[in-house]
C-alpha cells in the first residue's frame, strides 16, 4: 500500500510557486527603466553632462581651414535660450583654438553654420527590488558646415556627437556617491575630474 503525504506535496508546491513569483518580480523590477522628463539644463549636474557631451563632440571637429581667416558663426536647428549660448561658446572657442578670427557677418571671409540636431538633457531612473539608480543624460549632436561668405560655396560638412551622463545609485533607500561618464564607442567611461574634462 502506497501512502501519499499531502502535507509534503503541498509544501513543495507552495515553495516552488513562491520561488517562481519572487523570480518574476525580480526580473520585472530590473527592467523598469524609464525616462522621467527633461530639465532644460537648470541644475549644475544637467549643465555639466551637456558641457561634457559638447567637449566630447568637439574633439572630432576639424576647423583647420579657418586658420587666420575672418569667420562668422550662425546657429540654427533645435536651438533655444538654454543651449544657444553654450553652443556659441563651444564652437567659437574651437574657431579661436585653430587660429580663426571671429568677426561680424559683413566682415567675414567664412561662415560656420551650426545646425543643432540635439543639445540638451533628460533625467531617468531605474528601480530595483532593493535599490535603484538616478541619472541625468546629456547629448550634443551638431552638423557643422563651413562656407565662403561671398560665394556661399560649401567647403566642408561634419556631424559631431557627444554623450555623457551622471549616475547615482542607491541601496535600501541609501544613496551612494555619483559619477560622471562619457560615451566612447559603445562603452561608458568614468570621468575622474569632470571640471577639467575637455
| Res. 101 pLDDT band, cuts 50 70 90 | very high
The CATH code of the domain at 36-196 is: 3.40.50
Please report, rounded to a whole number, the percentage of residues in the chain having pLDDT higher than 70.
Answer: 74
pLDDT digits (tens, 9 = 90+) for 104-162: 999 999 999 999 998 888 877 676 666 677 778 889 999 999 999 999 999 999 999 99
The whole-number pLDDT of residue 72 equals 97
What is the secondary structure of 50-71 as a DSSP string? Answer: HHHHHHHHHTT---GGGTT-EE
* Domain residue spans of the chain: 36-196
Q: What is the mean pLDDT of residues 33-59?
A: 73
The whole-number pLDDT of residue 44 equals 83
What cell does 11 get?
509544501
Nearest to 60 by CA among 143, 154, 153, 181: 143
| Res. 5 pLDDT band, cuts 50 70 90 | low
Nearest to 34 by CA among 120, 122, 126, 121: 126
Amino acid at each position: 500500500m502506497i501512502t501519499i503525504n499531502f502535507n509534503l506535496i503541498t509544501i513543495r508546491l507552495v515553495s516552488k510557486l513562491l520561488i517562481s513569483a519572487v523570480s518574476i518580480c525580480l526580473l520585472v523590477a530590473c527592467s523598469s527603466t524609464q525616462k522621467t522628463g527633461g530639465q532644460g539644463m537648470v541644475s549644475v549636474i544637467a549643465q555639466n553632462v551637456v558641457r561634457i557631451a559638447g567637449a566630447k563632440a568637439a574633439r572630432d571637429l576639424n576647423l583647420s581651414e579657418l586658420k587666420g581667416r575672418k569667420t562668422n558663426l550662425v546657429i540654427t536647428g533645435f536651438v533655444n535660450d538654454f543651449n544657444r549660448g553654450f553652443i556659441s561658446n563651444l564652437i567659437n572657442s574651437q574657431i579661436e583654438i585653430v587660429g580663426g578670427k571671429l568677426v561680424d557677418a559683413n566682415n567675414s571671409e567664412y561662415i560656420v553654420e551650426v545646425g543643432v540636431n540635439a543639445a540638451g538633457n533628460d533625467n531617468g531612473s531605474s528601480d530595483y527590488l532593493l535599490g535603484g539608480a538616478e541619472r541625468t543624460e546629456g547629448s550634443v549632436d551638431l552638423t557643422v558646415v563651413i562656407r565662403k561668405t561671398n560665394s556661399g560655396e560649401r567647403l566642408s560638412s561634419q556631424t559631431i556627437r557627444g554623450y555623457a551622463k551622471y549616475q547615482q545609485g542607491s541601496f535600501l533607500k541609501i544613496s551612494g556617491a555619483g559619477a560622471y561618464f562619457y560615451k566612447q564607442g559603445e562603452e561608458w567611461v568614468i570621468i575622474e575630474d569632470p571640471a577639467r574634462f575637455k
